[in-house]
Chains A and B, each alone.
Chain A
Amino acid sequence: GNSVTQMEGPVTLSEEAFLTINCTYTATGYPSLFWYVQYPGEGLQLLLKATKADDKGSNKGFEATYRKETTSFHLEKGSVQVSDSAVYFCALSLTGTASKLTFGTGTRLQVTL
């Protein structure tokens, strides 16, 4: 079956630190890969996505590269801010599966001054 594994949280960083949140996946077909972010008390918002191998998704200073050889889609940001504190979800969607997303368990990021 399809599954997404992401690193356990919480992750606590000081402002301006480098962020990596690991994500690996297992899929029976050719997935699109996503990072969603959930700010406190809100729904999920798409942060970035990549639809094929070697694609790089980027948004708001966050980046992730679709690595087919390692089945990974790690999220990175060079310098985090307090406003980045949220829960981050890695997810995949298989083409032709009627819009189903398979999510990881989420990683909580806490950024302090």
Chain B
Amino acid sequence: EAQVTQNPRYLITVTGKKLTVTCSQNMNHEYMSWYRQDPGLGLRQIYYSMNVEVTDKGDVPEGYKVSRKEKRNFPLILESPSPNQTSLYFCASSTRTSGGDTQYFGPGTRLTVL
């Protein structure tokens, strides 16, 4: 089954404790992205990757890091989480088509930073 998986689904942590949210896709997609969803703001892109070892900032990259060492994986790293990073996070993947990019989303990770 074609899918994007994220782990963990729920995480409660404390300020300053480094954490990693993993993302994996089995569709051999070139593009992967991370978004955060906040009430009244919709989804905003944090980082994206066009292929292995190629990443770039989205709209709200501050406080986040990513890496793309393998095509299928795109982890999101919070080196020193703060309460304003409490949010619902989604990973997405896509492949370039002539008809516009359709993104496939993971189930989400709900992060609470105390």
Contact = CB atoms under 8 A, between A and B. Distances in A.
B100 A49 contact: yes
A99 B42 contact: no
The interface size bin for chain B is 20 to 34
B50 interface: yes
Contact of A93 (B40, B41, B44, B100): B100
Given A32-B100, A51-B99, A104 B106 contact: no
A99 B94 CA distance: 7
Contacts of B101: 32, 93, 99, 101
A60 to B, nearest CB: 16
B48 to A, nearest CB: 6
Contacts of A99: 31, 33, 48, 50, 94, 96, 101, 103
Contact of B107 (A4, A42, A98): A42
B56 interface: yes
Interface of A: 4, 32, 34, 36, 42-46, 49, 51, 89, 93, 95, 98-101, 103-106
Interface of B: 4, 31, 33, 35, 40-45, 48, 50, 56, 58, 90, 92, 94, 96, 99-108
